Structure 1
Amino acid sequence: MTTSEENEGSVPSERYFSNVGAVAAILGLVIYVVSAVLHPWTPPHETEAAFADYAAEPNWVLAHLGELLGILLMCAAVIALTWRLRRGVSGVWAILGGAAMVACASVYAVFIAVDGVALGILVGRWAQAGPERQELLYETAFAVRQIEAGLFSVQWLLFGVAAGLFAGAFFTGARTAFRLGWLSGMGWLSVGASIGALSFGIVQAQTAGSPTLRWPSRPDCTSA
């Protein structure tokens, strides 16, 4: 066996990794979309109605676990893309983008634990509780909802960072005439995704997903 053959056998196959990544991307997207359809679509700022729909949804946990699986599969596809772009200057941007995407998926996993498990349990108890306990459980569920909103905003901010880093990878990787169009197009698509995700994450952090909710003004602690 030659040295080049030994080196090829010691690292993952780029073609096979790309094929696995493509399958993971398609499968992840399908699973995520199907799971999202199972999720109640009540506007989140209509909190009481949303909680009632969440409590009545028998597939609440299953839908959220499906969404998580879809995101993890799409994250695997991004890791495969990172491996493909690993060479040269573009590899620096791709590796940083892949790391940001892994961080994004990790935050999303925590988000699913809060939204898909903790909130589901609380709204279920709220729906079944007597009048004397409903207000307390409602406020508790609402507090958990704000943690969920915070995680959701951080997730989108990390996705925006990852997309921006991959834009750098695509632009620096566009070296030949054949690859220029494809990589440049992906670069500009990543720029748009980055701007959109960062903007959404900021808005989400400011409003907690509600068009009517804003940060309360600070109390005047200097007055007697």
Structure 2
Amino acid sequence: MRMRSASKVGSACAIAGVGLLFVGTYLHPMEADPNDPAAAFAEYAADHAWVASHLMQLAGVASMVVALLLLAEQLKSRKGSSVARIGAAGAVVSLALAAALQAVDGIALKAMVEAWAAAPALQKEGVFHAAFAVRQLEIGLASMFCLSMGFTATVFGVALLEDGAFPKWCGGLGIVGGLSTGVAGVVIAYTGFSGLAMAINMPANFLLLLWMLVLGGFMWHRGGAVLEQFQV
């Protein structure tokens, strides 16, 4: 009964996390080229929902991490035990990186671009370079977050394949989404928020969110005890 309850809670967290990330991303301004600092900074400075949207994104990641940790607890007594433990560790690291990323992007960068927008003409260049330095920290954290989250999803996908509690394609979807997210992290590390990085990262994020929705659906409808029927 306790495992069934944990499965329901995990399901709710997975679905809520996807919803929070979707809304937070929807509120994020996206018209300016993120690899054009001046244009991007001007857009960010004018956005009044910036901090709220980034806190919402962080809450979404936290909610999904809770879902993965609850899933790992279920898998620990099954075939995917050791792999699930690695996935749980990756999930915790991913949450820490997400918090650092949103502290830099959602709070520090916002303060810097507002200071740049309001600075007198003679001071603008200096403040711009300071904001650009914060932007580089954001890029570094975004790269590490993608690598960590990609690793975590891939490991959980492998755990699900080994365990047999979910359909094989569910584990496969996690692996594909995780690997593509990891690739996005590497590209961001080398090129920043380039067109290529965004072209890889956006579909990869979609796959991960789809995977979380699928996990949430199965965890809700089947629960801990009912998942036994899929055991091989």
Bin of the TM-score, shorter chain as denominator length = 0.7 to 0.9
Indicate conservation of the 8 Å contact 1:45/1:212, yes or no.
no
1:112 lines up with 2:102 in the alignment = yes
Q: Identify the match of residue 89 of structure 2 among 88, 99, 121.
A: 99
Write the letter of the residue equivalent to 1:114: V
| Whole-Å separation in 2 of the counterparts to 1:171 and 1:35 | 31
Structure 1: any 5+ residue segments left out of the alignment? 1-7, 214-224
Indicate conservation of the 8 Å contact 2:151/2:179, yes or no.
no
Aligned-pair CA distance for 1:164: 2.0
| Whole-Å separation in 2 of the counterparts to 1:142 and 1:66 | 24
Aligned-pair CA distance for 1:167: 2.3
Q: Identify the match of residue 37 of structure 1 among 17, 20, 26.
A: 26
Identity of paired residues, percent? Answer: 34
| Whole-Å separation in 2 of the counterparts to 1:86 and 1:185 | 21
1:50 lines up with 2:40 in the alignment = yes
1:158 lines up with 2:142 in the alignment = no
Larger fraction in helix: 2
Aligned to 1:3: none
Indicate conservation of the 8 Å contact 2:11/2:67, yes or no.
yes
For the pair shown, which has the larger CA radius of gyration, 1 or 2? Answer: 1
SS in 1 for 2:80: helix
What's the C-alpha RMSD, in Å, of the aligned pairs?
Answer: 1.7
SS in 1 for 2:22: helix
Write the letter of the residue equivalent to 2:185: G
Structure 2: any 5+ residue segments left out of the alignment? 198-232
Indicate conservation of the 8 Å contact 1:173/1:183, yes or no.
no
Aligned to 2:64: 74
Q: How many equivalent pairs are there?
A: 196
Moved more, 86-95 or 112-121: 86-95
Cα 1:54–1:31 shift into 2, 3 Å? same
TM-score, length-normalised on structure 1? Answer: 0.83
Indicate conservation of the 8 Å contact 2:14/2:64, yes or no.
yes
| Whole-Å separation in 2 of the counterparts to 1:75 and 1:153 | 18
Q: Identify the match of residue 206 of structure 1 among 178, 190, 200.
A: 190
| Whole-Å separation in 2 of the counterparts to 1:187 and 1:212 | 27
| Whole-Å separation in 1 of the counterparts to 2:196 and 2:111 | 26
Moved segments of 4+, more than 3 Å: none
Aligned to 1:183: 167
